[in-house]
Structure 1
Amino acid sequence: MRPDLCLRNAGRRYGLRGPWVLRGVDLAVGPGRLVRVEGANGSGKSTLLRLLAGIDAPSEGRITGRPARTAYVPERFPPALPFTAVGYLTHLGAVQGLSRAAAARAAREWLERLGAAAYAETPMARLSKGSSQKVAVAQALLAQPGLLVLDEAWTGLDTTARAELERAVAERTAAGGSVVFVDHDPRRLAGLSDATYAVRDGGVVRQEPSQTAAAPGPHVVVETQGPPDGRLPEEVRRTVSSAEETGPGAHRLSVPAPHSDVVLRALLTARPPWHVVSVAPQATAR
């Protein structure tokens, strides 16, 4: 397993004598973790995310353990680029180490998932703000990054694309990737974060669960049956909120609703596959 991504006494300022935006930051993000970052406008949230993603280098301190494949969705994405949507994504996929054929396939798959397949051949400069944002999200997910950094990435997306991005976050963490995100909506991935950090007064402070306003989101209960001596697939164990063994090979899983697709896919594609007995909202599950 890869090491944690760590910031040690990290600081960032712009210019040799500019004011410090962040200073003395210590933070660790482990594999498979989902981390939320909060803070007022102008507090330094985006600066912290840019340090984590490697877009900016720290002015002091150090960063270690960054995965080889790191992806970043900025708050503002430059749409006026001399490519079509699929051409741009194919180019970036090749830059990230995919073959041209694999990059082209991944580009079209993500455009389809995000509801932008109709705009694949449209020049980037002619895309609407919402379609440009879908391309921004797609470019970050092409090569299955070990670290995904999202700065207000849901802004401008329609309902379908927002839900698809939430599923993609679940897929990344279930596969052992790390995800760090900022979003203005406190209900975004509510109750699912492994840690929440607040940026204020140039520092970063870990929030205790009681300090976070967002309540846990809706869950579903999945009853599943595997081999008598079977161990739940790793992707499932990383994603569920709880797992209760109810008999030989039988489990009752409490799953965040946005992540249920990931859990069901992992169960059904396991070797040997697990039988899904039932799926029900947690409030009505028996």
Structure 2
Amino acid sequence: MRLESVSVRYTRGGPRVLDDITLDLASGTVTAVVGGNGSGKSTLLKVAAGLRRPSSGSVRGRPDRIGYVPERLPANMRLSARSYLLHMGRVQGLRTADAARRGGELLDRLGIEGDVDAPISTLSKGNAQKVALAQAMLGGPRLLILDEPWSGLDARTHQVLVDCLAEWRAAGVVVLLTEHRPGTVAASADAVHRLHRGRLTEEAMGEAAPEGFAITLGVPMVEDRSRVMEALRALPGVRSVGENERRRICLEVGADRSDAVLAEVLRQGHSVFEVRPGAGGHR
């Protein structure tokens, strides 16, 4: 699949949101596009998915089975997670029974919490994101387009998504995703490109993110501090746990899991005093 000299303007004569972008997407690869909010990442994905026509340029070789995770589901979604996946499965050509079975399997794998028969609008951001991911995977897509797929996910589901990316790569699926934190995609992507002022540049994989992070925490006063440290040590991506001279807990975390670990320690009620790139001792 190839995006050839793609440019997009929102208004005639207005500035280019995307400016002469050429991007090759091979089967069995994961391509990540990083950039700040408003950089045009979502517009690029919509062009790749065929949801928006470029102002100039073309998209060639787009597979016919596409899974798409938007930046967010509609805020007033009245369908339940179960009903939505059943509907989307039938839209994608699955029989009713197959859509129901496959939807349930995906929700179980992604670890959805809450009532799957309640309106999606009542779910948390993370659980709504799990529903969006499930609908994209329903029909066995050959092209997966994911707009900041890790947004709102807990540590467990963060790792499930990493595992899914490896499986899709092995199955020859074309994966194009966006993220605003390079460290999140460093271990999963075959190529990382940065979008800035409408232009796309490839980043050297070795420079996309540090190998790990040193995270210093303050934890609530508890009787069994060793149990707290053991729980932190069990988090996916945590390489080591120790204490500094101020009795603050210090973690060494892999770059590919850093965001998920931070989200989880905050959820557990810990305070984050410092995050530094690279491995080594703590201050």
Match of 1:138 in 2: 134
Which of 33, 36, 39 is equivalent to 2:32? 36
Match of 1:241 in 2: none
Q: Secondary structure at the match of 1:205?
A: strand
Distance change (3 Å), C-alpha of 1:191 and 1:154: closer
Which of 182, 185, 190 is equivalent to 1:186? 182
Report the RMSD for the aligned CA atoms in angstroms.
2.1
Q: Please say if 1:112 is aligned against 2:130.
A: no
Q: Please say if 1:20 is aligned against 2:16.
A: yes
Distance change (3 Å), C-alpha of 1:171 and 1:54: same
Aligned-pair distance for 1:35? 0.7
Match of 2:4 in 1: 8
Q: Deviations over 1:194-230 (max 9, x none)?
A: 111111232112223344224399xxxxxxxxxxxxx
Match of 2:119 in 1: 123
Distance change (3 Å), C-alpha of 1:201 and 1:123: closer
Question: How many pairs are equivalent?
Answer: 215
Distance change (3 Å), C-alpha of 1:34 and 1:169: same
Confirm or deny: 8 A CA contact 1:85 1:124 kept in the other structure.
yes
Confirm or deny: 8 A CA contact 1:10 1:61 kept in the other structure.
yes
Q: Please say if 1:96 is aligned against 2:122.
A: no
Consecutive unaligned residues in structure 1, runs of 5 or more: 218-256, 259-286
Confirm or deny: 8 A CA contact 2:162 2:188 kept in the other structure.
no
Distance change (3 Å), C-alpha of 1:126 and 1:192: closer
CA distance in 2, matches of 1:52, 1:111: 26
Distance change (3 Å), C-alpha of 1:84 and 1:14: same
Question: Which residue identity is paired with 1:119?
Answer: D
CA distance in 2, matches of 1:20, 1:187: 28
CA distance in 1, matches of 2:92, 2:164: 18
Report the TM-score when normalising by structure 2. 0.70
Aligned-pair distance for 1:120? 2.1
CA distance in 1, matches of 2:163, 2:22: 29
Aligned-pair distance for 1:118? 5.0
CA distance in 2, matches of 1:50, 1:103: 25
Aligned-pair distance for 1:119? 2.5
Q: Please say if 1:58 is aligned against 2:37.
A: no
Q: Secondary structure at the match of 1:198?
A: strand
CA distance in 1, matches of 2:207, 2:110: 33
Question: Which residue identity is paired with 1:151?
Answer: D
Match of 2:42 in 1: 46
Larger deviation, residues 131-140 vs 36-45: 36-45
Distance change (3 Å), C-alpha of 1:201 and 1:127: closer
Question: Which residue identity is paired with 1:51?
Answer: V
Q: Secondary structure at the match of 1:188?
A: helix
Match of 2:158 in 1: 162
Q: Secondary structure at the match of 2:183?
A: coil
Match of 2:196 in 1: 200
Q: Deviations over 1:43-77 (max 9, x none)?
A: 21221122112221111110011111111212222
Aligned-pair distance for 1:9? 0.9
Report the TM-score when normalising by structure 1. 0.70
Question: Which residue identity is paired with 2:133?
Answer: V
Aligned-pair distance for 1:14? 1.0
Identity %: 42
Confirm or deny: 8 A CA contact 2:183 2:209 kept in the other structure.
no
